[in-house]
Amino acid sequence: MRPIALLIALALFPVAAAAQSWCAASNLNQTEAAICGDALLGNLDAQMNTLYGRIKDRDARARSNQSAWLAARDFCRTDVLCIETAYRDQLTLLRQIPGGRPTWCVAANLSAPERAICGSSLLAHLDAELGTLFNRGGPTLRALQRQWLKDERDTCGNDAFCIEQAYLSRLADLRHQPAN
């Protein structure tokens, strides 16, 4: 049993070490410092680097969505569970390589916030990430989500910055809720 464990550790070590090479930088933000100090987060970062490296050159949406995801991830600051969830959700999205716009963007009667989301790759990405978290919830979350849309997101009109902040806040809230 011991030789197998050693082989697994040796096989994983180069990936984890490569993902952590940026940890020596002196200007890490709070989230990056948390990632550097946690083995699980370091492993998730290695997985992200590997997957993103495979698709970034063949999918322009993945490249633009990645910077939006980094901003959303950094919103977690030092919350390890939030960071872990952000990584797992983004890995799921990247594995599916979602379309550039939500499927509902073809509707004729979009609201001002919906038009803003459909016109921005950042907002479309945040909407997709929110959809991933939302799909983990049950009926109670659906009611809360409708209320959030009405009271938070939709009050932004077509203000992309306001919508972005509403999404980042909602994503942080949902990441702290257990999956159903």
Token output for 125: 């990405």
Highest mean pLDDT among 57-66, 77-86, 115-124, 131-140: 77-86
| Dmax (CA) of the chain | 62
Average pLDDT score over residue span 134-160: 85
Task: Report the chain's mean pLDDT, rounded to a whole number.
Answer: 79
Q: How confident is the model at residue 158 (pLDDT cuts 50, 70, 90)?
A: very high
Residue 96 is predicted with a pLDDT of 64
Average pLDDT score over residue span 123-151: 80
How far apart are alpha carbons 152 and 167 in whole angstroms? 9
User: E-strand spans in the chain?
Assistant: none
Q: Give the model confidence (pLDDT) of 33-50 as tens digits.
A: 999 999 999 988 987 887
Residue bearing the bigger pLDDT, 28 or 128:
28
> What residue ranges do the domains of the chain occupy?
28-175
Least confident interval from 2-11, 60-69, 87-96, 102-111: 2-11
User: Got the DSSP string for 74-126?
Assistant: HTTTT-HHHHHHHHHHHHHHHHH---SS-GGGG-SS--HHHHHHHT-HHHHHH
Asked if residue 172 has pLDDT above 70, the reply is yes
